[in-house]
């Protein structure tokens, strides 16, 4: 429990650094957050003793924290079984927060930096049901370049941007998706499955564009739930693409995708 010392800059004392008591054991907010994160699907209801054991916070202090959290509906105490559960305030907050995740806005500076690094077109694609759509482009400045096209939908298994999205799905959902694609024969389905294996191994999808003359490297963007919800791609004419550039593009794509996933809460738990 941090007893707050008022330190006005004008008082002549040196103002304390903003977060200087956060690493100590007495950081009550840290303890409160640790307590909240004890709860999950496997442990959705905990007794005072269980929370005490897991947080190693002394019981009297802990009780104060639990009461404060319950007071604000961050936890709910059920006298019937003497257990605490997560409170419904989190649903309220999540609803507010969810409406603020503007992937396009967060992606734009990252996409610009990627474009500037290789001067090729960068594309942000979204998974919408069983389709991928290209949501946004930052175009290369070179005269021969991949151009922005009005948002076109395509099935997930067609093109790197969609394949990365497909590879992020569960085995079960991938199977269900493929069996729903009536125009694919068994050989084509096996091809897709092989490509997915390669994507899972490398972490990205690439195509040198033998048939389309368009080379692409795509990486997955994950949300706070770990689900792959979008993909980031670098794309340009196949003639500027080589074994060496695929490495360079892939490194950029993966770094950009990692940054963007972080702004969407991935890996923060």
Partner 1 sequence: MSIVRHPGKNVRKPRGKSVARQDNLKLVSVVDRAARLMNCFTSDTQELDLQQMTALAGLPKPTTFRLLANMVRHGLLEYKHASGNYMLGFTSLLLAEALLQGLPLRVQARPFMEEIRDSLNETVVLSIKDHDHRINIESVESTQVITATLNLGVRIPLYAGAASQVLLAGMQADDIDAYLERTDLVSYNTTTLTTTKAVRARLAKVREQGYALTFAEFTPGGSAIAVPIMGPEGCPVGALHISGPKGRLNTDVQGRCVEALLRGSKALTEELCRPRP
* Candidate ranges 95-103, 121-129, 143-151, 187-195; the one touching partner 1 (CB under 8 A): 95-103
Strand locations in the chain (E): 75-78, 83-86, 121-128, 131-138, 153-155, 205-207, 214-222, 228-237
Does 137 interact with partner 1 (rule: CB under 8 A)?
Answer: no
Instruction: Single out the residue of 12, 150, 152, 268 in contact with partner 1 (rule: CB under 8 A).
Output: 268
Using CB under 8 A, pick the residue from 14, 19, 152, 244 that binds partner 1.
Answer: 19
- Among residues 56, 71, 102, 175, the one that binds partner 1 under rule CB under 8 A: 71
Q: Does 12 bind partner 1 (CB under 8 A)?
A: no
Residue 36 is a binding residue for partner 1 (CB under 8 A): yes
74 part of the interface to partner 1, by CB under 8 A: yes
**Closest CA relative to residue 162, chosen from 198, 125, 189:** 125
Is 176 one of the binding residues for partner 1 (CB under 8 A)?
Answer: no
Among 51, 59, 82, 88, binds partner 1 (CB under 8 A): 88
Asked if 204 is part of the footprint of partner 1 (rule: CB under 8 A), the reply reads no
Residue 39 within binding range of partner 1, rule CB under 8 A: yes
How many residues touch partner 1 (CB under 8 A)? Answer: 60
- Identify which of 96, 90, 31, 37 has the alpha carbon closest to the alpha carbon of residue 59: 31
Helices assigned H by DSSP within 1-152:
28-36, 48-55, 59-71, 89-98, 103-118
Please identify which residue in 12, 14, 24, 95 interacts with partner 1, judged by CB under 8 A. Answer: 95
C-alpha span between 233 and 42 (Å, rounded): 37
Which string of x and - marks every residue 246-265 that binds partner 1 (by CB under 8 A)? Answer: -------------------x
Contact residue for partner 1 among 53, 67, 194, 242 (CB under 8 A): 67
d(CA 217, CA 8): 53
Length of the chain: 269
The residue among 52 and 161 lying less far from partner 1, judged by its C-beta, is: 52
The 8 Å CB, 24+ separation contacts for 103-108 are 103/135, 103/221, 103/229, 103/230, 103/260, 103/264, 104/135, 104/136, 106/260, 106/263, 106/264, 107/136, 107/232, 107/260, 108/136, 108/138
Query: Counting contacts by CB under 8 A, is residue 172 touching partner 1?
Result: no
Return the ∠ at Cα 143 (arms to 138 and 149), rounded to 5°. 45
Interface with partner 1 includes 76 (CB under 8 A)? yes
Longest dimension (CA), the chain: 78
CB 89 within 8 A of CB 72: yes
The yes or no reply on residue 37 touching partner 1 (CB under 8 A) is yes
Q: Using CB under 8 A as the criterion, which residues of the chain lie in contact with partner 1 when the complex forms?
A: 1-4, 6-9, 15-16, 18-19, 21-22, 27-30, 32-33, 36-37, 39-41, 44-45, 61, 63-65, 67-69, 71-74, 76, 85-100, 224-225, 265, 268-269
């Amino acid at each position: 429990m941090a007893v707050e010392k008022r330190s006005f800059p004008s008082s002549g004392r040196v103002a304390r650094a903003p977060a200087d008591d956060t690493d100590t054991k007495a950081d009550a907010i840290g303890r409160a957050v640790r307590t909240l994160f004890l709860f999950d699907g496997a442990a959705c209801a905990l007794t005072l003793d269980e929370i005490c054991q897991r947080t190693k916070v002394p019981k009297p202090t802990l009780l104060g924290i639990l009461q404060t959290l319950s007071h604000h509906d961050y936890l709910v105490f059920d006298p019937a079984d003497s257990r605490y559960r997560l409170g419904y305030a989190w649903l309220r907050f999540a609803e507010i927060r969810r409406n603020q995740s503007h992937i396009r806005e967060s992606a734009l500076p990252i996409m610009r930096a990627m474009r500037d690094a290789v001067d090729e077109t960068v594309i942000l694609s979204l998974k919408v049901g069983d389709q991928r759509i290209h949501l946004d482009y930052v175009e290369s400045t070179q005269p021969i370049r991949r151009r922005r096209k009005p948002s076109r939908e395509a099935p997930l298994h067609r093109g790197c941007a969609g394949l990365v999205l497909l590879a992020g799905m569960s085995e079960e959902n991938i199977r269900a998706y493929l069996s729903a694609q009536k125009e694919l024969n068994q050989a084509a389905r096996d091809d897709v499955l092989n490509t997915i294996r390669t994507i899972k191994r490398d972490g990205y999808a690439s195509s040198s564009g033998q048939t389309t003359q368009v080379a692409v490297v795509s990486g997955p963007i994950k949300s706070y739930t770990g689900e792959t919800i979008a993909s980031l791609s670098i794309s340009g004419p196949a003639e500027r693409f080589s074994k060496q550039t695929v490495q360079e593009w892939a490194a950029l794509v993966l770094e950009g995708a990692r940054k963007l996933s972080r702004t969407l809460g991935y890996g923060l738990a």
